[in-house]
Structure 1
Amino acid sequence: VRDGDLVARIGGEEFAVWLPRTGLREGMEVAERIRRSVAEKPLTWSGSVYPLTTSCGIASCPDLVRDVKNLPVAADAALYRAKELGRNRVEQAGSSSEHRPPGA
């Protein structure tokens, strides 16, 4: 990540990366770099090697989500879609109304 970005552990194995003043395309590129970086560094423990994977969900305001308050919900939905589609991938939030508040 870059200076000015924020990484926070949300709980368990979930982290959030806040990329201020970043468009959707650049956010997708950052997420893909993170995914590749994790995959390139397997965990070695007690003489065994364990591959690591990362699933990422991306949401962008106002590109895909109209209200910044809805970013976590939209990103979480994209994360679960990445997991459902086979894991170890980056998915963006849909632009459909499912990620927008009623009446938006």
Structure 2
Amino acid sequence: MRNKPYPIKRWAILLLLLVISPIANATDVRGRVEFRARNGMNYPMNGAFVQFCIVNTNNCAGYTTGYDGMYYLRLVPGAYYIVINGRVFQQISVPNTRNIDIPPIIGN
């Protein structure tokens, strides 16, 4: 007697599509955090904790900047607040595109 493979249930396929669909619509977001020195020049802010928090929720995605002050996140399109080191800086709308660049933000 041959072993028959398990049939794939319709509900399992639907569940898989529901889990994968938000990931498929993710947008790569990158930007830079700078600090303004006393001489008026801007420099990369190393070690800044950047969070993108969905408006009207407590859901946040975070990243700590490197020596170049850059952050890189993959986000689902929607409205977010940008929070740097615990301070809200601006609200931004992440569109349903492949990549977006956020202009540099002065973090101090």
Q: One fold, TM greater than 0.5?
A: no
Larger RCO, structure (CA 8 Å, separation 6 or more):
2
Q: Which has the higher strand share?
A: 2
User: Which structure would you say has the larger Rg?
Assistant: 2
Identify the TM-score tier after normalising by the shorter chain.
under 0.3
